[in-house]
Amino acid sequence: MLLQIYDFTSDDLQDLGEIGRGAFGTVNKMVHRRSNTVMAVKGDCWICMEVMDTSLDKFYKFIYEKLQQRIPESILGKITVAPERIDPQRARGYDVRSDVWSLGITLMEVATGHFPYPKWNSVFEQLYQVVQGDPPRLSPNENGNSFTMEFVNFVNTCLIKDETQRPKYNKLLEHPFIKYSDENSVDVAFYVSDILDRMSNNGRTMFTMNDP
């Protein structure tokens, strides 16, 4: 999360609705019109979040700007917040392990090309599914893709619903998937650019799970 103070008037903002309220005031979700930055606004505190709607915000923006296409609404507004952050019954609070959950959601979406939750009709369905439903689980073979057992275990470890059993980052760094990745280098920028170039040459503007 990037914390930054901006100097602008209320006319520069578009109110997208209330996020929540409590003893310390009301928080609204807003967009800075000129920069298209999403913000959580509380009183005179301006909290700018580069990644609020989705952990893949920058990636999607890069992809679709290069393809000169508008980002599909179907991949916007995805919730990656951990259950303990929105469950009123868990009054003990949360720590860095809530970010581990968000990492797991992001990795699963990148790996499969699909958001791991079904489509919701309202924010209440979102909250109920995350708090009351089973956590997403990655399978070794999903949507025609095969994943190593190390990667599957890593993602599913991040998505342990009970935060007391979910590891913190220092423990995750000892995971076999991370250790293997440390020993093997991959030029991700070249890979993404190569895929985009091939798509552009073929006149395509969307990804499919059959892409190499």
Quick: pLDDT tens for 37-85.
666 665 433 333 333 343 445 555 555 455 555 444 444 445 678 888 8
The domain that contains 98 carries what CATH number?
Answer: 1.10.510.10
Phi, psi of 46, deg, nearest 5: -115, 110
HSE value, Cβ hemisphere, 13 Å, CA-based, for 125: 7
The domain that contains 24 carries what CATH number?
Answer: 3.30.200.20
Whether the full predicted model's pTM is greater than 0.85, yes or no, is no
Q: What is the mean pLDDT of each run of 10 residues along the chain (212 residues)?
A: 54 66 61 66 42 44 52 52 78 79 89 80 77 91 85 96 92 91 78 75 53 44
- 128 and 103 Cβ atoms separated by less than 8 Å: no
Residue 209, domain member (yes or no)? no
Same domain, yes or no: 28 and 120: no
Same domain, yes or no: 171 and 125: yes
Same domain, yes or no: 92 and 12: no
Same domain, yes or no: 23 and 128: no
Same domain, yes or no: 46 and 122: no
Same domain, yes or no: 154 and 176: yes
Confirm or deny that 42 is annotated as ligand binding.
Answer: yes
Domain count, the chain: 2
Q: Which domain holds residue 18?
A: 1-52
First to last CA, the chain: 33
